[in-house]
Structure 1
Amino acid sequence: MAAQPRAGGLTMLDRVTGYILRGVAIACLVALFLLIFVNVGARTFQLASFPWFDEVIQGLFAWMVFIGSAALWREQDHFRVGWLADVLPDRPGRVLAIVVVLLEAAFLIAMTRYGWDLTVRSRALTPILNLPTGLLYASIPAAGAIMLIYTARDFYRAAIGRDPIERMPF
């Protein structure tokens, strides 16, 4: 039996990052489902009321959306219209890929910067649990930074002529 090639350090880090991103998004989704299920049951049978419910749901939803987006970004699974790049010859197609990646980077830089400002400047506390609202907002710069790292990967791929939309192994 032939020995399997060992994954490099960056490949292993990328794979672990993928597992963590998916794990956080899935854990948030499961927690959302369970909390909503319990809340609906409690209200239906008038068993209990959970005043903290909305705060927890908002936090879980924010983290699920932004970290889930980063997971999709890593795996190149987000929505993309690629017909123009497919019909262009190699050189113009590569230029288009580079321009698209640079536009993505510009958006992500703005998102990360303003998300960081929002997180740092937020001084409010949630009404029931008294948690800093910055905890909710922190998902924005965290996901933005992760997506920027993968955008740098996509830029490198586009610059050397590889397809930046090449699928990542989980």
Structure 2
Amino acid sequence: MRRLDYFVAMALRVIPIACLVALFLLIFVNVIARTFQLAGFAWFDEVITGLFAWMVFVGSAALWRENDHFQVHWLQTVLPVRSSHLLRLLIVALGLCFLFAMTWFGASLTLKAKAMTPILSMPTSLFYAAIPISGAVMFIYSLVDLFRLFTQKETKL
């Protein structure tokens, strides 16, 4: 399992970084082309949209895996240990509900999408697929967090 987790972690890091590098290069080339009034890229917006979607959703999953996303710990630190533990359980349970809905409706959107991009004729479902894939990854890591919360002793943050 650790080996699989390692490969998932690497993919969750490499994909957003690759998207960011590609975004930077495409925008840089586009700025240069416009500066020197060279031919524009008709497909530019389509590729930027797809890269940005994958960067954001997979990057979010990477942050979720590392438990590095934005969190406010104030209430957990001022509550007694048992209440703090219950609050963390509630937060994870609510997160699971949200991630289930995000994954379910994201998968539904992806499967129903039949549109093609106007220039490159790429299926828009390729862009939408980032939603259920990232949601499923975050859901799985939330289940792991829930398991840890149930099996660990109650401790203060």
User: Paired residues, what number?
Assistant: 156
> Which one of the candidate residues 96, 108, 112 is aligned to 1:105?
96
Retained in 2: the 8 A contact 1:70–1:144?
yes
> Which one of the candidate residues 50, 59, 62 is aligned to 1:59?
50
CA RMSD of aligned residues (A): 1.5
In the alignment, which residue of structure 2 is the partner of 1:28? 19
**Structure with the higher helix share, 1 or 2:** 2
- Write the deviation string for residues 39-79 of structure 1: whole angstroms up to 9, x where unpaired: 00001101221000000000000000000000000001100
Question: Structure 2 stretches of 5 or more lacking a match?
Answer: none
> Which one of the candidate residues 149, 152, 155 is aligned to 1:161?
152
> Which one of the candidate residues 58, 69, 79 is aligned to 1:88?
79
- Write the deviation string for residues 130-164 of structure 1: whole angstroms up to 9, x where unpaired: 0110000000000000000100011011112358x
- What is the DSSP-based 3-state SS (H/G/I as helix, E as strand, rest coil) of the residue aligned with 2:14? helix
> Which one of the candidate residues 57, 67, 71 is aligned to 1:76?
67
Change (3 A) 1:122 1:135: same
- What is the DSSP-based 3-state SS (H/G/I as helix, E as strand, rest coil) of the residue aligned with 2:92? helix
TM-score, normalised by the number of residues in structure 2: 0.95
In the alignment, which residue of structure 2 is the partner of 1:47? 38
TM-score, normalised by the number of residues in structure 1: 0.88
Paired with 1:54 and 1:65, the residues of 2 have a C-alpha distance of: 16
